[in-house]
């Protein structure tokens, strides 16, 4: 089982869009996929609930809801036989919450938009992941997504310079496209749309999907590399 966490405390960075499209992709491949929605806005949860029975099944865990009738661990339990778990995190999470959200993560995705405010917020997020959550660069667990990009703009050039300075892989560069809006409105992912509607956008996801298949590296004592567990 692989656990993928989409995280950025800055609201509006595209976390839910990334999460639902990853979930759709894996479900369409026939993998048993779970989407955990921690965001009180519940956008990912609504997307799942509005899907048709004829679409690939997705198991939803609405983590933002509290049920006094059951324990928290029971509410958040992952069904047996799950292949992928995608975690959509809320905005405005504090640094001290990051270790709990990322401890079991095989991959952590940080989407960032091309704006000065978002670049600053991403810098702080990366710092907290490295120093507070103790995510190691060398573990190959942490990746950046440049999101809603319009190339050949000054702010995109600024974003590119910033990301290249982080020594963290940029695993995807996704353009600003209405295909995401149209897909979400129909409770679809890009992969479920007709090819002519989203072919260019789907192609931009390929580097990200390839990176997700690369196992994380665990650094053991004396700098030894400990092989990661393979996917179930």
CATH of the domain at 148: 3.40.50.300
For 123, the domain range is 2-211
Residue 228 lies in a domain: no
Flag whether pLDDT at 126 surpasses 70: yes
pLDDT at 113: 92
In a domain, 227, yes or no: no
Residue 224: pLDDT over 50: no
Question: Does residue 73 belong to any structural domain of this protein?
Answer: yes
Q: pLDDT tens digits for 173-217?
A: 999 999 999 999 999 999 999 989 999 999 999 999 999 999 877
Q: What is the pLDDT of residues 146-164, one digit of tens each?
A: 999 987 788 888 888 888 8
Q: What mean pLDDT do residues 117-133 have? A: 93
Total number of domains constituting the chain: 1
Q: Is-above-0.85 flag for pTM?
A: yes
Cβ atoms within 10 Å of 177's Cβ, excluding its own: 16
Q: Which residue has the higher pLDDT, 226 or 131?
A: 131
Residue at 224 is within a domain: no
Within-domain flag for 152: yes
| Residue 230 counted as domain residue | no
Q: Is 225 contained in some domain? A: no
């Amino acid at each position: 089982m692989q656990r993928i966490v989409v995280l950025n405390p800055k609201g509006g960075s595209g976390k839910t869009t990334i999460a639902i499209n990853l979930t759709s992709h894996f479900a369409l491949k026939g993998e048993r996929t779970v989407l955990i929605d921690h965001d009180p806005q519940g956008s990912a949860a609504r997307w799942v609930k509005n899907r048709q029975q004829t679409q690939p099944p997705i198991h939803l865990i609405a983590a933002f809801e509290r049920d006094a009738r059951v324990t928290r661990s029971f509410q958040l339990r992952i069904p047996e036989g799950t292949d992928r778990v995608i975690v959509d995190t809320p905005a405005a999470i504090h640094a001290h919450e990051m270790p709990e959200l990322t401890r079991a993560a095989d991959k952590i995705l940080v989407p960032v938009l091309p704006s000065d405010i978002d670049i600053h917020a991403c810098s702080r997020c990366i710092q907290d992941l490295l120093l507070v959550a103790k995510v190691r660069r060398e573990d190959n667990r942490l990746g950046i997504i440049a999101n809603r990009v319009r190339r050949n703009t000054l702010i995109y050039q600024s974003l590119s310079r910033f990301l290249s300075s982080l020594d963290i892989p940029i695993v995807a560069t996704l353009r600003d496209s209405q295909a995401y809006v149209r897909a979400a409105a129909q409770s679809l992912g890009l992969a479920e749309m007709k090819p002519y509607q989203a072919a260019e956008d789907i192609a931009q996801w390929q580097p990200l999907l390839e990176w997700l298949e690369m196992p994380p590296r665990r650094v053991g004592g004396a700098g030894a590399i400990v092989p990661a567990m393979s996917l179930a």
